[in-house]
Structure 1
Amino acid sequence: MNLWQEQSISQPPILTLRSAQKAWDIPIVDQHYQTLLDASSQAERARLVAVSAKDSGSWLNALPLSVLGNLPEDNSFRISAGLRLGARLCEPHVCRCKKLVDELGRHGLSCQLSAGRHSRHSALNDSLHRALISCKVPNVLEPNGILRDDQKRPDGLTLIPWQQGKALVRDVTCVDTVAETYLRGPAWRLGYAANKAEELKRHKYRELDGRYLFCPVAFETFGTFRNEASSLIQQIGKRIAEATGETRSLSLNSGLIFD
């Protein structure tokens, strides 16, 4: 007890909880976490808040199936884990876009010349497409004719009604949690970048209101997703469970929804 109290400023757990290891660990973990936040820069604070979110690390528990793209090669896994931990990933150098890349290697997450930006978007969109098919909802990618006044095309459209007798139109985006654009906002707010991206998407496709159910699906590079994306994933998971009888579809950790 004396050793524990030397590390914690909290009171010991009540008697009925003292047999649970978690009751002793959480006060010390929370204390160290707050110390890290207080001593961090705005970018580091945004990273810590994002990677501490409940579902931001669900990809680590996805089933490692190579046919679904769930089995990253060693270097990809090293970089993914290093980004979450804030570890040194590379030697400082100048990017093709003429901007300096520091040892943390985060510049590539938002660089306009990074091929990864397009592959992330395609992978997310394809996962949603397959998940909808799994719950027996036919859908098409990048449908034409949704907006007739310009060349904008959302990422997907269900061919049958989703809710309220209306088809579902979705548009997916993956934004950089620590991009300068989003760091101008409150870095301590969980999912700030994703929520902001969803607002912009909804404004962009405001003409769809009334004709379709539009859902902006925004994810952050550090794994956070909020509000509308979370709601859609839960609905899809519930429908997959009803269609297949696989109750694990309700869990992101199963990797059945997003692989």
Structure 2
Amino acid sequence: MTEISKHDALVLLTQAAFIPRLSYFLRTSPGPSQQTSDEFNNELRMSFQTIFNVFFDDKGWRQAILPVNMGGLGLGVVAELAPSAFLSSAAATASLQDKILPMNVAYQDDLRLETFWRWCTVYGDIMDINVCSQKKWNEPFLNVSKSKLDELNDSPSDKARLMAVRSELGSAWLRAIPSTACGTRLDNGSIRVSLCLRLGLPVVSGYRCLCGADVFQLGHHGLSCRLGSGRQARHSAMNDYTCRLFQKADIPAVKEPAAYYLKATSGQMVTLWYRAERYINYTAREQGSAAVKAADFKNTKYKHLNDNTRVFVPICMETFGPVDKQTQLFFDNIGTKIVEKSGDPNDKIYI
């Protein structure tokens, strides 16, 4: 894993070779011993740190084991998920077992019952043993883990981060297939920074920025520093990408002036990719509120552009993914236009 692209390694670990195969193995047995599970989890944690050059604290690891839609990476915990996987598989195959085994002999699956009572000891008698859905068996553990994670991340910045990465678009990059041709492959440095920002892990060593501000280990300052080149580069990249979407939909488009307006027959857009301190208190309470406030500000500032010949549409995207309704509607509409032009329904997914 250390010899290949970090993006490829991440996909192999979480979606292809490792975690899915582990889940399949756990469905066929009641699970390893606690000692074996702890050793496996420690090995997984150390290996992940080595491959991606990150350091997990307890909060970061607790988040990483959660599913992607809960803000994690879907790594899971063997000791906690093994009983759920086994019980769901046993329930799903119970009728098949009855058909295979002789009908004149009464069988009792002691291993299944033992695993079930052990699960009930931890989470209570809240589940019927015949439930076949592993997702339902996992819910009690995931809900407890999510609650503990929220308790540990009690600062406004951490709350804002967790709410953002749990949004619909906050985890889109984790589900994207790395493809150089499609432009969805991230370089090794981007993967490391993205993982650290998502999990709240240290990115850099603390130092004093040229702008006079103190840069802390989490690396958030670089996202909004007025002297940083990355902010303008992301702004320009978003403009270029939006322009290519228009061209792909066969809609004439031109950027005018560069990196500020994107003028097309269907309207004008201003892109925003920004994580500023003044938005933290808002985003800690409501998901995507920074994008909404930015869109409201742009709509007010450029309301004179809305006339009989033009339509102004702000494109506002937070660093961690959330967007406002206008931006979401814009991408939905442009995606529909691209699909109509190409005939490939997957084109909308690639956006």
> Structures share a fold, TM > 0.5?
yes
Name the counterpart of 1:171: 270
Residue segments in structure 2 that go unaligned for 5+ positions in a row: 1-115
Could you tell me how far apart the structure 1 residues matched to 2:325 and 2:202 are? Answer: 32
Could you tell me how far apart the structure 2 residues matched to 1:14 and 1:132 are? Answer: 54
The one of 23, 36, 49 aligned to 2:149: 36
Query: What secondary structure, in the 3-state scheme, does the structure 2 residue paired with 1:247 have?
Result: coil
- TM-superposed CA distance for 1:249, in Å, is 2.1
Q: What pairs with 1:241-252 in structure 2 (closer than 5 Å)?
A: 241-251=339-349
Could you tell me how far apart the structure 2 residues matched to 1:230 and 1:34 are? Answer: 29
Could you tell me how far apart the structure 2 residues matched to 1:168 and 1:22 are? Answer: 44
State whether residues 7 and 28 of structure 1, in contact with CA within 8 Å, keep that contact through their aligned partners in structure 2: no
Q: Is 107-116 or 55-64 further displaced after alignment?
A: 55-64
Name the counterpart of 2:286: 189
**Stretches of 4+ aligned residues off by more than 4 angstroms:** 5-10
State whether residues 295 and 324 of structure 2, in contact with CA within 8 Å, keep that contact through their aligned partners in structure 1: no
Q: What pairs with 1:130-141 in structure 2 (closer than 5 Å)?
A: 130-141=244-255
Could you tell me how far apart the structure 2 residues matched to 1:69 and 1:115 are? Answer: 21
Could you tell me how far apart the structure 1 residues matched to 2:342 and 2:186 are? Answer: 27
Identity of matched residues, %: 32
Residue segments in structure 1 that go unaligned for 5+ positions in a row: 145-152, 160-166
Name the counterpart of 1:26: 139
Q: What pairs with 1:86-125 in structure 2 (closer than 5 Å)?
A: 86-125=200-239
Q: Whose helix proportion is higher, 1 or 2?
A: 2
Q: Whose strand proportion is higher, 1 or 2?
A: 1
1:77 aligns with 2:185: no
2:325 maps to a residue whose letter is N
Could you tell me how far apart the structure 2 residues matched to 1:92 and 1:142 are? Answer: 39
- TM-superposed CA distance for 1:155, in Å, is 1.9
Could you tell me how far apart the structure 1 residues matched to 2:165 and 2:122 are? Answer: 24
State whether residues 283 and 290 of structure 2, in contact with CA within 8 Å, keep that contact through their aligned partners in structure 1: no
Q: Structure 1 residues 2, 81: CA separation in 2 closer, same or farther (over 3 Å shift)?
A: same
Q: What pairs with 1:141-156 in structure 2 (closer than 5 Å)?
A: 141-142=255-256, 155-156=261-262
State whether residues 94 and 101 of structure 1, in contact with CA within 8 Å, keep that contact through their aligned partners in structure 2: yes
Could you tell me how far apart the structure 1 residues matched to 2:187 and 2:168 are? Answer: 25
Q: Is 70-79 or 231-240 further displaced after alignment?
A: 70-79
Name the counterpart of 2:35: none
State whether residues 191 and 224 of structure 1, in contact with CA within 8 Å, keep that contact through their aligned partners in structure 2: yes
Larger radius of gyration: 2
- Per the normalisation by structure 2, the TM-score is 0.61
Q: Structure 1 residues 140, 94: CA separation in 2 closer, same or farther (over 3 Å shift)?
A: same
Could you tell me how far apart the structure 2 residues matched to 1:95 and 1:84 are? Answer: 23
1:50 aligns with 2:164: yes
Q: Structure 1 residues 102, 247: CA separation in 2 closer, same or farther (over 3 Å shift)?
A: same
Q: Structure 1 residues 51, 186: CA separation in 2 closer, same or farther (over 3 Å shift)?
A: closer
Name the counterpart of 1:180: 277
State whether residues 133 and 139 of structure 1, in contact with CA within 8 Å, keep that contact through their aligned partners in structure 2: yes
Could you tell me how far apart the structure 2 residues matched to 1:238 and 1:141 are? Answer: 22
1:129 aligns with 2:243: yes
- TM-superposed CA distance for 1:61, in Å, is 3.3
Q: Is 73-82 or 110-119 further displaced after alignment?
A: 73-82
Q: Structure 1 residues 215, 10: CA separation in 2 closer, same or farther (over 3 Å shift)?
A: farther
Could you tell me how far apart the structure 2 residues matched to 1:9 and 1:48 are? Answer: 28
